[in-house]
């Protein structure tokens, strides 16, 4: 299936303020619930959103790292929570007894899913809200914060790009930093990290000087891209606010929330459906808006 360029999507063309409000609602919504079914719903919804806006290949490469992170969190949670039953597996070694309990396993999976979902949200945020849009949102409030946002984004981007360039250079020169003894590898890795940090910080300071020379922070010169409000922006903002209100209301009714590890063995309650539906609606709202936008324009 041909992937639509992200700049041609309705979500990318939204007013930056609307996008910032939506991502704030999505992040808060993911923190409101810790039920396993709700966490799985959030993961599936974000997976569909990531595939649509970033492509299957990119999502698959990141998914392998996400899976390892989830398994690591679940493992340590099972290791540290041994109190509640039922017990799936138990083994004793000397004076130590390890219990694999259902609540600890479910709780670890939920915590891992929540962290992965946060990473997925920020991945989509970086694609939808590049530095100029963030500057346009935050610079009217505080230009210094807008400058800090731009420098931070450029620092990470430069760090990753320089790491790729140095890795390619090492391959062409037959340099292997992982060869040799343990101390040698630590010194080689530390030297590489120092070069990356120095180059990235120098690039960030150069960006700051250039922005200061161009009058960044001066009235009417903080950002150069003009963003105008359209009917679609107001409609999307209203839909996201209503969906977020429904999500907050369901949380106030204790839907989709477990107060302790012991309660994670409880099944799906009727009120949890409202939490599941409201969170799913918020996360899938960009895809629903894309469908409405395509139907309207065609």
Instruction: Please tell me the pTM assigned to this model.
Output: 0.76
The residue behind tokens 């959103």 is: 49
Q: What is the DSSP string of 74-124?
A: HHHHHHH--SSS-EEEEEEETTEEEEEEHHHHHHHHHHHHHHHHHHHHHHH
Q: Per-residue pLDDT tens for 4-19?
A: 788 888 999 999 999 9
Chain position carrying tokens 């395509």: 294
How many angstroms separate the CA atoms of 179 and 175, rounded? 9
Could you tell me the residue ranges of all domains in the chain?
15-139+251-298, 140-216
Residue 113 has pLDDT above 60, yes or no: yes
Cβ neighbours for 1, distance < 8 A, ≥ 6 positions apart: none
pLDDT score of 263 = 56
**Residue range 155-180: mean pLDDT, rounded:** 66
The half-sphere exposure of 182 on its side-chain side, counting CA atoms within 13 A, is 0
At 23-35, the pLDDT tens digits run 999 999 888 888 8
Task: State phi, psi for 214 to the nearest 5 degrees.
Answer: -85, 5
Q: Please check the confidence at residue 160 and state whether its pLDDT lies above 70.
A: no
When pLDDT is averaged across residues 119-125 and rounded to a whole number, the result is 88
């Amino acid at each position: 299936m041909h992937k639509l360029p992200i700049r041609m999507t309705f979500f990318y063309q939204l007013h930056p303020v609307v996008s910032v409000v939506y991502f704030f609602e999505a992040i808060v919504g993911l923190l409101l619930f810790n039920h396993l079914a709700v966490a799985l719903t959030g993961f599936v919804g974000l997976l569909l959103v990531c595939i649509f806006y970033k492509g299957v290949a990119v999502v698959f490469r990141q998914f392998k790292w996400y899976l390892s992170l989830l398994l690591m969190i679940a493992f340590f949670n099972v290791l540290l929570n041994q109190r509640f039953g039922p017990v799936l597996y138990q083994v004793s070694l000397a004076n130590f007894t390890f219990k694999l309990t259902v609540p600890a396993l479910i709780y670890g999976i939920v915590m891992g899913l929540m962290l992965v979902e946060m990473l997925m949200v920020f991945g989509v945020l970086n694609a939808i809200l590049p530095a100029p849009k963030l500057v346009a949102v935050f610079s009217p409030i505080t230009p210094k914060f807008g400058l800090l946002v731009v420098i931070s984004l450029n620092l990470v981007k430069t760090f990753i790009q320089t790491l790729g360039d140095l890795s390619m250079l090492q391959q062409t020169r037959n340099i292997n930093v992982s060869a040799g003894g343990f101390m040698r590898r630590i010194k080689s890795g530390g030297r590489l990290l120092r070069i990356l940090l120095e180059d990235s910080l120098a690039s960030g300071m150069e960006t700051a000087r250039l922005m200061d020379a161009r009058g960044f922070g001066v009235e009417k010169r903080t950002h150069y891209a003009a963003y105008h409000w359209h009917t679609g922006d107001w409609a999307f903002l209203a839909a996201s606010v209503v969906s977020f209100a429904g999500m907050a209301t369901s949380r106030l009714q204790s839907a989709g929330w477990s107060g302790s590890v012991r309660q994670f063995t409880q099944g799906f309650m009727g009120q949890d459906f409202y939490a599941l539906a409201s969170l799913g609606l918020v996360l899938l709202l960009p895809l629903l808006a894309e469908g409405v936008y395509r139907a309207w324009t065609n």
